[in-house]
Structure 1
Amino acid sequence: MLLLSLSVSALAQKSRILFVGNSLTYTNNLPELVKNEARKKGFKVQTTMIAYPNYALIDHLDDGEVQKRIRSGKFDYVIVQQGPSSQSEGREMLLDAGRKFQMLCQQNETELVFFMVWPSLTNYHTFEGVIKNHRDAAIENEALLCPVGEAWKDYFERTDDSTLYGLDGFHPSRKGSRLAAEVIVKTLFDNG
Protein backbone atom coordinates (compact mmCIF):
# COMPACT_ATOMS: atom_id res chain seq x y z
CA MET A 1 0.00 0.00 0.00
CA LEU A 2 1.13 3.53 -0.75
CA LEU A 3 1.02 5.17 2.67
CA LEU A 4 2.73 8.22 4.09
CA SER A 5 3.99 8.07 7.66
CA LEU A 6 3.80 11.31 9.58
CA SER A 7 4.30 12.04 13.24
CA VAL A 8 1.20 12.16 15.43
CA SER A 9 1.82 15.83 16.24
CA ALA A 10 1.83 16.71 12.53
CA LEU A 11 -1.34 14.70 11.98
CA ALA A 12 -3.16 16.42 14.82
CA GLN A 13 -2.91 19.64 12.81
CA LYS A 14 -4.06 18.01 9.56
CA SER A 15 -7.69 17.52 10.36
CA ARG A 16 -9.66 19.37 7.67
CA ILE A 17 -10.67 17.24 4.69
CA LEU A 18 -12.44 18.17 1.46
CA PHE A 19 -14.04 15.23 -0.35
CA VAL A 20 -14.56 15.70 -4.09
CA GLY A 21 -16.43 12.98 -5.93
CA ASN A 22 -19.75 11.52 -6.95
CA SER A 23 -22.32 9.05 -5.64
CA LEU A 24 -19.61 6.63 -4.50
CA THR A 25 -18.64 9.31 -1.97
CA TYR A 26 -22.03 10.64 -0.93
CA THR A 27 -23.76 7.26 -0.65
CA ASN A 28 -23.93 6.53 3.09
CA ASN A 29 -22.27 9.93 3.75
CA LEU A 30 -18.68 8.69 3.59
CA PRO A 31 -17.22 11.95 5.00
CA GLU A 32 -19.30 11.53 8.16
CA LEU A 33 -18.16 7.90 8.47
CA VAL A 34 -14.53 9.06 8.12
CA LYS A 35 -15.08 11.66 10.84
CA ASN A 36 -16.53 9.01 13.16
CA GLU A 37 -13.77 6.49 12.41
CA ALA A 38 -11.10 9.14 13.03
CA ARG A 39 -12.74 10.07 16.33
CA LYS A 40 -12.52 6.42 17.43
CA LYS A 41 -8.77 6.59 16.76
CA GLY A 42 -8.40 9.82 18.74
CA PHE A 43 -8.35 12.32 15.85
CA LYS A 44 -10.63 15.30 15.41
CA VAL A 45 -11.61 15.70 11.77
CA GLN A 46 -13.73 18.28 9.97
CA THR A 47 -15.12 17.28 6.59
CA THR A 48 -16.68 19.05 3.65
CA MET A 49 -18.07 17.29 0.60
CA ILE A 50 -18.60 18.34 -3.01
CA ALA A 51 -20.18 15.35 -4.73
CA TYR A 52 -22.75 15.10 -7.50
CA PRO A 53 -24.25 12.17 -9.42
CA ASN A 54 -22.17 10.87 -12.35
CA TYR A 55 -19.43 13.47 -11.90
CA ALA A 56 -15.86 12.86 -13.01
CA LEU A 57 -13.05 14.97 -11.59
CA ILE A 58 -12.93 17.06 -14.75
CA ASP A 59 -16.61 17.97 -14.22
CA HIS A 60 -15.71 19.37 -10.80
CA LEU A 61 -12.86 21.39 -12.31
CA ASP A 62 -15.17 22.71 -15.03
CA ASP A 63 -17.72 23.88 -12.41
CA GLY A 64 -15.16 25.98 -10.56
CA GLU A 65 -16.59 25.37 -7.09
CA VAL A 66 -13.75 23.08 -6.07
CA GLN A 67 -11.14 25.72 -6.96
CA LYS A 68 -12.86 28.28 -4.72
CA ARG A 69 -13.03 25.81 -1.85
CA ILE A 70 -9.38 24.77 -2.13
CA ARG A 71 -8.22 28.37 -2.49
CA SER A 72 -10.04 29.22 0.73
CA GLY A 73 -7.10 27.58 2.50
CA LYS A 74 -9.38 25.72 4.86
CA PHE A 75 -8.27 22.18 3.98
CA ASP A 76 -5.29 20.02 4.81
CA TYR A 77 -6.35 17.15 2.56
CA VAL A 78 -8.34 17.06 -0.67
CA ILE A 79 -9.59 13.53 -1.31
CA VAL A 80 -10.58 13.08 -4.94
CA GLN A 81 -12.78 10.26 -6.20
CA GLN A 82 -13.65 9.37 -9.76
CA GLY A 83 -15.40 6.28 -11.07
CA PRO A 84 -13.46 3.04 -11.57
CA SER A 85 -11.42 4.50 -14.47
CA SER A 86 -10.26 1.07 -15.61
CA GLN A 87 -10.45 1.80 -19.36
CA SER A 88 -8.05 4.05 -21.29
CA GLU A 89 -10.45 7.02 -21.49
CA GLY A 90 -11.14 6.92 -17.73
CA ARG A 91 -7.42 6.53 -17.03
CA GLU A 92 -6.58 9.62 -19.08
CA MET A 93 -9.29 11.64 -17.33
CA LEU A 94 -7.99 10.48 -13.95
CA LEU A 95 -4.38 11.37 -14.78
CA ASP A 96 -5.23 14.68 -16.44
CA ALA A 97 -7.56 15.85 -13.69
CA GLY A 98 -5.07 14.58 -11.13
CA ARG A 99 -2.38 16.89 -12.53
CA LYS A 100 -4.76 19.85 -12.35
CA PHE A 101 -5.83 19.01 -8.81
CA GLN A 102 -2.21 18.56 -7.73
CA MET A 103 -1.23 21.99 -9.08
CA LEU A 104 -4.19 23.54 -7.29
CA CYS A 105 -3.36 21.71 -4.06
CA GLN A 106 0.32 22.67 -4.18
CA GLN A 107 -0.55 26.32 -4.75
CA ASN A 108 -2.73 26.21 -1.64
CA GLU A 109 -0.57 24.06 0.65
CA THR A 110 -3.04 21.20 0.61
CA GLU A 111 -2.25 17.51 0.24
CA LEU A 112 -3.87 15.66 -2.65
CA VAL A 113 -5.25 12.20 -1.92
CA PHE A 114 -6.69 9.74 -4.45
CA PHE A 115 -9.59 7.57 -3.26
CA MET A 116 -9.29 4.29 -5.18
CA VAL A 117 -12.73 2.86 -5.80
CA TRP A 118 -13.96 -0.45 -7.25
CA PRO A 119 -15.72 -1.63 -10.40
CA SER A 120 -19.31 -2.85 -10.46
CA LEU A 121 -19.89 -6.54 -9.89
CA THR A 122 -20.65 -6.99 -13.59
CA ASN A 123 -17.28 -5.40 -14.44
CA TYR A 124 -15.33 -7.13 -11.67
CA HIS A 125 -12.90 -8.48 -14.29
CA THR A 126 -11.58 -4.88 -14.72
CA PHE A 127 -10.43 -4.61 -11.09
CA GLU A 128 -6.71 -4.85 -11.88
CA GLY A 129 -7.07 -1.90 -14.26
CA VAL A 130 -8.82 0.12 -11.55
CA ILE A 131 -5.98 -0.59 -9.12
CA LYS A 132 -3.22 0.13 -11.64
CA ASN A 133 -4.71 3.39 -12.88
CA HIS A 134 -5.31 4.79 -9.40
CA ARG A 135 -1.81 3.76 -8.29
CA ASP A 136 -0.33 5.39 -11.39
CA ALA A 137 -2.32 8.58 -10.77
CA ALA A 138 -1.06 8.79 -7.18
CA ILE A 139 2.55 8.10 -8.17
CA GLU A 140 2.56 10.44 -11.16
CA ASN A 141 1.12 13.24 -9.04
CA GLU A 142 3.17 12.50 -5.91
CA ALA A 143 -0.08 12.20 -3.99
CA LEU A 144 -1.34 9.93 -1.26
CA LEU A 145 -3.43 6.93 -2.21
CA CYS A 146 -6.29 5.52 -0.14
CA PRO A 147 -6.34 1.97 -1.54
CA VAL A 148 -9.99 1.27 -0.76
CA GLY A 149 -10.39 -0.73 -3.97
CA GLU A 150 -7.55 -3.05 -2.98
CA ALA A 151 -9.09 -3.65 0.46
CA TRP A 152 -12.47 -4.23 -1.24
CA LYS A 153 -10.97 -6.78 -3.68
CA ASP A 154 -9.02 -8.51 -0.91
CA TYR A 155 -12.15 -8.86 1.22
CA PHE A 156 -14.20 -10.20 -1.68
CA GLU A 157 -11.55 -12.73 -2.70
CA ARG A 158 -10.95 -13.94 0.87
CA THR A 159 -14.62 -14.33 1.74
CA ASP A 160 -16.54 -14.62 -1.54
CA ASP A 161 -18.92 -12.18 0.17
CA SER A 162 -20.29 -9.41 -2.04
CA THR A 163 -22.03 -7.49 0.76
CA LEU A 164 -19.67 -4.52 0.37
CA TYR A 165 -21.79 -3.78 -2.70
CA GLY A 166 -25.23 -2.29 -2.37
CA LEU A 167 -28.31 -3.65 -4.08
CA ASP A 168 -27.34 -2.22 -7.49
CA GLY A 169 -24.02 -4.11 -7.54
CA PHE A 170 -21.99 -0.91 -7.78
CA HIS A 171 -22.66 1.62 -5.04
CA PRO A 172 -21.38 0.70 -1.60
CA SER A 173 -23.54 -0.85 1.06
CA ARG A 174 -23.19 0.68 4.52
CA LYS A 175 -20.62 -2.05 5.19
CA GLY A 176 -18.71 -1.06 2.05
CA SER A 177 -18.67 2.60 3.04
CA ARG A 178 -17.47 1.70 6.54
CA LEU A 179 -14.59 -0.26 5.00
CA ALA A 180 -13.77 2.78 2.83
CA ALA A 181 -13.77 5.01 5.93
CA GLU A 182 -11.44 2.63 7.76
CA VAL A 183 -8.95 2.59 4.87
CA ILE A 184 -9.05 6.37 4.49
CA VAL A 185 -8.44 6.95 8.21
CA LYS A 186 -5.65 4.38 8.27
CA THR A 187 -3.99 6.03 5.25
CA LEU A 188 -4.19 9.54 6.66
CA PHE A 189 -3.67 8.98 10.36
CA ASP A 190 -1.93 5.67 11.06
CA ASN A 191 1.71 6.51 11.64
CA GLY A 192 2.97 2.99 11.95
Structure 2
Amino acid sequence: MGKRVFLFFAIVLVNLSLSANQKPDSLQVLFIGNSYTYYHEMYNMVREIAAHVGQDQKIAISPTVFAPGGCTLKRHLQNGELVKAIERGNWDYVILQEQSTAPAGPTRVVAENTYLDAARLDSIVKRYNPDAKVIFYMTWGHKYGTLHRIKNYPIIDTYEGMQHRLATSYLEMAYENDAWCAPVGLAWMRVRKERPYTTLYWPDGSHPSKAGSYLAANVIYTTIVQCPYQSSYFAGLDAELAEYLQQVAQQTVLDNLQLLNIAR
Protein backbone atom coordinates (compact mmCIF):
# COMPACT_ATOMS: atom_id res chain seq x y z
CA MET A 1 0.00 0.00 0.00
CA GLY A 2 2.82 2.40 0.86
CA LYS A 3 4.43 1.71 -2.52
CA ARG A 4 1.18 2.53 -4.31
CA VAL A 5 0.77 5.78 -2.42
CA PHE A 6 4.35 6.77 -3.24
CA LEU A 7 3.82 5.90 -6.90
CA PHE A 8 0.63 7.95 -6.98
CA PHE A 9 2.28 11.07 -5.59
CA ALA A 10 5.31 10.61 -7.83
CA ILE A 11 3.06 10.43 -10.89
CA VAL A 12 1.08 13.49 -9.84
CA LEU A 13 4.17 15.59 -9.10
CA VAL A 14 5.97 14.60 -12.27
CA ASN A 15 3.01 15.25 -14.50
CA LEU A 16 2.01 18.52 -12.86
CA SER A 17 5.60 19.65 -13.43
CA LEU A 18 5.45 18.57 -17.06
CA SER A 19 2.15 20.35 -17.60
CA ALA A 20 3.54 23.60 -16.24
CA ASN A 21 6.26 23.57 -18.88
CA GLN A 22 4.27 22.42 -21.89
CA LYS A 23 3.69 24.56 -24.96
CA PRO A 24 0.45 26.53 -24.79
CA ASP A 25 -0.85 24.84 -27.96
CA SER A 26 -0.72 21.35 -26.44
CA LEU A 27 -3.92 19.64 -25.36
CA GLN A 28 -4.14 19.49 -21.57
CA VAL A 29 -5.57 16.10 -20.59
CA LEU A 30 -6.38 15.23 -16.98
CA PHE A 31 -6.57 11.50 -16.19
CA ILE A 32 -8.58 10.60 -13.08
CA GLY A 33 -8.51 6.88 -12.32
CA ASN A 34 -6.46 4.19 -10.63
CA SER A 35 -4.12 1.35 -11.56
CA TYR A 36 -5.96 0.71 -14.84
CA THR A 37 -4.74 4.19 -15.79
CA TYR A 38 -1.21 4.14 -14.36
CA TYR A 39 -0.13 0.58 -15.32
CA HIS A 40 2.63 0.85 -17.95
CA GLU A 41 2.11 4.63 -17.83
CA MET A 42 -0.87 4.34 -20.17
CA TYR A 43 -1.41 8.10 -20.02
CA ASN A 44 2.09 8.64 -21.42
CA MET A 45 1.36 6.10 -24.16
CA VAL A 46 -1.44 8.43 -25.30
CA ARG A 47 1.09 11.27 -25.49
CA GLU A 48 3.58 9.14 -27.45
CA ILE A 49 0.95 7.88 -29.89
CA ALA A 50 0.05 11.50 -30.64
CA ALA A 51 3.69 12.47 -31.06
CA HIS A 52 4.37 9.72 -33.62
CA VAL A 53 1.53 10.15 -36.13
CA GLY A 54 1.99 11.79 -39.53
CA GLN A 55 3.11 15.40 -39.55
CA ASP A 56 -0.24 16.61 -40.91
CA GLN A 57 -2.05 15.03 -37.92
CA LYS A 58 0.48 15.73 -35.20
CA ILE A 59 -0.81 17.27 -31.98
CA ALA A 60 0.86 17.64 -28.61
CA ILE A 61 -0.84 16.05 -25.62
CA SER A 62 0.19 16.97 -22.07
CA PRO A 63 -1.10 14.40 -19.55
CA THR A 64 -1.59 14.97 -15.85
CA VAL A 65 -2.73 12.03 -13.75
CA PHE A 66 -4.35 11.30 -10.39
CA ALA A 67 -4.40 7.52 -10.10
CA PRO A 68 -3.90 5.88 -6.69
CA GLY A 69 -4.38 2.11 -6.73
CA GLY A 70 -7.99 0.96 -6.33
CA CYS A 71 -9.31 4.49 -6.10
CA THR A 72 -13.02 5.11 -6.65
CA LEU A 73 -14.64 8.25 -8.00
CA LYS A 74 -15.96 8.85 -4.49
CA ARG A 75 -12.43 8.91 -3.07
CA HIS A 76 -11.30 11.22 -5.84
CA LEU A 77 -14.02 13.67 -4.82
CA GLN A 78 -12.51 13.69 -1.33
CA ASN A 79 -9.03 14.53 -2.63
CA GLY A 80 -8.54 18.27 -2.15
CA GLU A 81 -5.48 18.36 -4.41
CA LEU A 82 -7.44 16.88 -7.28
CA VAL A 83 -10.34 19.28 -6.80
CA LYS A 84 -7.87 22.20 -6.77
CA ALA A 85 -6.30 20.92 -10.00
CA ILE A 86 -9.71 20.83 -11.66
CA GLU A 87 -10.59 24.29 -10.34
CA ARG A 88 -7.39 25.75 -11.78
CA GLY A 89 -9.01 25.19 -15.15
CA ASN A 90 -7.38 25.09 -18.57
CA TRP A 91 -8.21 21.40 -19.17
CA ASP A 92 -9.18 20.35 -22.68
CA TYR A 93 -10.16 16.78 -21.80
CA VAL A 94 -10.82 15.03 -18.50
CA ILE A 95 -10.75 11.21 -18.51
CA LEU A 96 -12.80 9.56 -15.73
CA GLN A 97 -12.21 5.92 -14.80
CA GLU A 98 -14.03 4.21 -11.93
CA GLN A 99 -12.69 1.33 -9.82
CA SER A 100 -12.79 -1.91 -11.84
CA THR A 101 -15.83 -3.58 -10.25
CA ALA A 102 -17.91 -0.65 -8.98
CA PRO A 103 -19.82 -0.01 -12.26
CA ALA A 104 -20.51 -3.75 -12.64
CA GLY A 105 -22.61 -4.07 -9.47
CA PRO A 106 -26.39 -4.26 -9.13
CA THR A 107 -28.17 -1.46 -10.97
CA ARG A 108 -29.56 0.18 -7.83
CA VAL A 109 -26.17 0.27 -6.12
CA VAL A 110 -24.40 1.64 -9.21
CA ALA A 111 -27.08 4.33 -9.63
CA GLU A 112 -26.87 5.40 -5.98
CA ASN A 113 -23.08 5.49 -5.85
CA THR A 114 -21.09 5.46 -9.07
CA TYR A 115 -23.57 7.49 -11.13
CA LEU A 116 -23.89 10.17 -8.45
CA ASP A 117 -20.13 10.43 -7.96
CA ALA A 118 -19.58 10.62 -11.72
CA ALA A 119 -22.13 13.42 -11.97
CA ARG A 120 -20.48 15.35 -9.13
CA LEU A 121 -17.05 15.15 -10.71
CA ASP A 122 -18.48 16.04 -14.11
CA SER A 123 -20.21 19.11 -12.66
CA ILE A 124 -16.98 20.35 -11.04
CA VAL A 125 -15.10 19.92 -14.30
CA LYS A 126 -17.71 21.82 -16.28
CA ARG A 127 -18.03 24.60 -13.72
CA TYR A 128 -14.35 25.52 -13.96
CA ASN A 129 -13.63 24.24 -17.49
CA PRO A 130 -16.67 25.10 -19.62
CA ASP A 131 -14.88 24.19 -22.85
CA ALA A 132 -13.53 20.86 -21.61
CA LYS A 133 -14.90 17.50 -22.70
CA VAL A 134 -15.35 14.74 -20.15
CA ILE A 135 -14.59 11.23 -21.42
CA PHE A 136 -15.66 8.15 -19.44
CA TYR A 137 -13.01 5.43 -19.81
CA MET A 138 -14.95 2.17 -20.13
CA THR A 139 -12.85 -0.59 -18.59
CA TRP A 140 -12.84 -4.36 -19.25
CA GLY A 141 -14.19 -7.39 -17.45
CA HIS A 142 -11.82 -9.48 -15.37
CA LYS A 143 -10.38 -12.40 -17.31
CA TYR A 144 -12.56 -15.10 -15.74
CA GLY A 145 -15.35 -12.94 -14.33
CA THR A 146 -15.29 -10.68 -11.30
CA LEU A 147 -12.62 -11.31 -8.71
CA HIS A 148 -14.99 -9.88 -6.08
CA ARG A 149 -18.21 -11.85 -6.24
CA ILE A 150 -21.44 -10.30 -5.02
CA LYS A 151 -23.95 -12.48 -3.19
CA ASN A 152 -27.09 -13.20 -5.25
CA TYR A 153 -25.66 -11.36 -8.26
CA PRO A 154 -24.13 -14.00 -10.58
CA ILE A 155 -24.42 -11.84 -13.72
CA ILE A 156 -20.79 -10.74 -13.43
CA ASP A 157 -19.31 -14.12 -12.54
CA THR A 158 -18.23 -14.57 -16.19
CA TYR A 159 -16.09 -12.30 -18.32
CA GLU A 160 -18.92 -11.75 -20.81
CA GLY A 161 -21.44 -10.87 -18.12
CA MET A 162 -19.08 -8.47 -16.36
CA GLN A 163 -18.10 -6.81 -19.64
CA HIS A 164 -21.70 -6.20 -20.71
CA ARG A 165 -22.53 -4.80 -17.29
CA LEU A 166 -19.55 -2.42 -17.39
CA ALA A 167 -20.41 -1.30 -20.93
CA THR A 168 -23.96 -0.41 -19.94
CA SER A 169 -22.86 1.57 -16.89
CA TYR A 170 -20.17 3.56 -18.69
CA LEU A 171 -22.44 4.38 -21.62
CA GLU A 172 -25.17 5.54 -19.25
CA MET A 173 -22.71 7.77 -17.39
CA ALA A 174 -21.75 9.34 -20.72
CA TYR A 175 -25.39 9.85 -21.71
CA GLU A 176 -26.46 11.28 -18.36
CA ASN A 177 -23.61 13.79 -18.25
CA ASP A 178 -23.50 14.84 -21.92
CA ALA A 179 -20.02 13.32 -22.06
CA TRP A 180 -18.22 10.93 -24.39
CA CYS A 181 -17.31 7.30 -23.77
CA ALA A 182 -13.94 5.76 -24.68
CA PRO A 183 -14.94 2.11 -25.32
CA VAL A 184 -11.81 0.34 -24.15
CA GLY A 185 -13.86 -2.60 -22.89
CA LEU A 186 -15.56 -3.09 -26.27
CA ALA A 187 -12.21 -3.07 -28.09
CA TRP A 188 -10.88 -5.51 -25.48
CA MET A 189 -13.83 -7.84 -26.14
CA ARG A 190 -13.10 -7.85 -29.88
CA VAL A 191 -9.42 -8.70 -29.38
CA ARG A 192 -10.33 -11.54 -27.01
CA LYS A 193 -12.65 -12.94 -29.68
CA GLU A 194 -10.36 -12.49 -32.69
CA ARG A 195 -7.04 -13.27 -31.05
CA PRO A 196 -7.61 -15.24 -27.85
CA TYR A 197 -3.89 -15.98 -27.75
CA THR A 198 -3.06 -12.28 -27.33
CA THR A 199 -2.44 -11.56 -23.66
CA LEU A 200 -4.21 -8.34 -22.69
CA TYR A 201 -4.08 -9.15 -18.97
CA TRP A 202 -1.43 -9.01 -16.29
CA PRO A 203 -1.05 -12.43 -14.60
CA ASP A 204 -3.62 -11.44 -11.94
CA GLY A 205 -6.42 -11.57 -14.54
CA SER A 206 -7.48 -8.01 -13.81
CA HIS A 207 -4.81 -5.42 -14.60
CA PRO A 208 -3.62 -4.80 -18.14
CA SER A 209 -0.52 -6.21 -19.76
CA LYS A 210 1.53 -3.75 -21.81
CA ALA A 211 -0.58 -4.76 -24.84
CA GLY A 212 -3.75 -4.08 -22.83
CA SER A 213 -2.53 -0.63 -21.81
CA TYR A 214 -1.49 0.11 -25.40
CA LEU A 215 -4.97 -0.85 -26.63
CA ALA A 216 -6.54 1.43 -23.99
CA ALA A 217 -4.25 4.31 -24.97
CA ASN A 218 -5.19 3.99 -28.63
CA VAL A 219 -8.91 3.92 -27.83
CA ILE A 220 -8.58 7.06 -25.72
CA TYR A 221 -6.47 8.80 -28.37
CA THR A 222 -9.01 7.91 -31.09
CA THR A 223 -11.83 9.19 -28.91
CA ILE A 224 -10.03 12.53 -28.67
CA VAL A 225 -9.06 12.96 -32.34
CA GLN A 226 -11.99 11.08 -33.99
CA CYS A 227 -10.14 10.30 -37.22
CA PRO A 228 -8.04 7.44 -38.65
CA TYR A 229 -4.29 7.57 -38.03
CA GLN A 230 -1.13 5.50 -38.09
CA SER A 231 1.37 5.98 -35.30
CA SER A 232 4.94 4.67 -35.37
CA TYR A 233 4.96 4.41 -31.57
CA PHE A 234 4.58 0.72 -30.65
CA ALA A 235 5.50 0.81 -26.93
CA GLY A 236 8.03 -1.97 -27.42
CA LEU A 237 5.40 -4.38 -28.78
CA ASP A 238 5.75 -6.42 -31.96
CA ALA A 239 4.95 -4.10 -34.88
CA GLU A 240 2.23 -6.34 -36.34
CA LEU A 241 0.48 -6.64 -33.00
CA ALA A 242 0.72 -2.91 -32.32
CA GLU A 243 -0.72 -2.04 -35.73
CA TYR A 244 -3.56 -4.53 -35.20
CA LEU A 245 -4.37 -2.97 -31.80
CA GLN A 246 -4.33 0.49 -33.38
CA GLN A 247 -6.83 -0.63 -36.01
CA VAL A 248 -9.14 -2.31 -33.51
CA ALA A 249 -9.12 0.82 -31.34
CA GLN A 250 -9.90 3.10 -34.26
CA GLN A 251 -12.66 0.93 -35.67
CA THR A 252 -14.30 0.44 -32.28
CA VAL A 253 -14.54 4.20 -31.79
CA LEU A 254 -15.17 5.46 -35.32
CA ASP A 255 -17.82 2.84 -36.14
CA ASN A 256 -19.78 3.67 -32.98
CA LEU A 257 -19.74 7.46 -32.64
CA GLN A 258 -23.47 7.68 -31.95
CA LEU A 259 -23.42 4.85 -29.40
CA LEU A 260 -20.53 6.59 -27.62
CA ASN A 261 -22.44 9.89 -27.47
CA ILE A 262 -19.82 11.57 -29.67
CA ALA A 263 -22.05 12.13 -32.72
CA ARG A 264 -25.66 13.28 -32.39
With normalisation by structure 1, the TM-score equals 0.88
Local SS of the residue matching 2:63 = strand
2:122 corresponds, among 93, 99, 102, to 102
* CA offset digits 1:1-50 (Å, max 9, x no partner): xxxxxxxxxxx957110000111111111110010011123110000000
1:72 corresponds, among 65, 71, 88, to 88
Identity over aligned pairs, percent: 30
1:35 pairs with 2:47: yes
1:90-129 equivalences in 2 (<5 Å): 90=110, 92-108=112-128, 109=130, 110-123=132-145, 124=159, 125-129=161-165
1:19 corresponds, among 17, 23, 31, to 31
* CA offset digits 1:78-100 (Å, max 9, x no partner): 10111242112345432111111
After TM superposition, what 4+ stretches of structure 1 lie above 6 angstroms from structure 2?
A: none
Task: Work out which structure has the larger RCO, using CA pairs closer than 8 Å and 6 or more positions apart in sequence.
Answer: 1
Describe the shift of the 1:122–1:131 C-alpha distance in structure 2 as closer, same or farther (beyond 3 A).
same
Q: What residue in structure 1 maps to residue 181 of structure 2? A: 145
Q: Distance in 1 between matches of 2:25 and 2:179?
A: 19
* CA offset digits 1:133-186 (Å, max 9, x no partner): 100110111101110010001110122235011111110000000000100000
Larger Rg: 2
1:185 pairs with 2:221: yes
Describe the shift of the 1:73–1:170 C-alpha distance in structure 2 as closer, same or farther (beyond 3 A).
same
Local SS of the residue matching 2:162 = helix
Q: Distance in 1 between matches of 2:25 and 2:137?
A: 21
Local SS of the residue matching 1:46 = strand
What one-letter code is carried by the residue in structure 2 that aligns with 1:102? D
Aligned 8 A contact 1:33 1:178 in 2:
yes
Q: What residue in structure 2 maps to residue 87 of structure 1? A: 105
Describe the shift of the 1:13–1:93 C-alpha distance in structure 2 as closer, same or farther (beyond 3 A).
farther
1:44 pairs with 2:80: no
Q: Distance in 1 between matches of 2:83 and 2:180?
A: 19
What one-letter code is carried by the residue in structure 2 that aligns with 1:161? Y
Unmatched segments (≥5 aa) in structure 2 = 1-23, 146-158, 229-264
Q: Distance in 2 between matches of 1:63 and 1:143?
A: 22
Aligned 8 A contact 1:14 1:77 in 2:
no
Unmatched segments (≥5 aa) in structure 1 = 1-11
Local SS of the residue matching 1:122 = coil
Q: Distance in 2 between matches of 1:101 and 1:113?
A: 12
Aligned 8 A contact 1:14 1:76 in 2:
no
Superposed CA RMSD: 1.7
Deviates more, 1:124-133 or 1:92-101: 92-101
Q: What residue in structure 1 maps to residue 70 of structure 2? A: 54
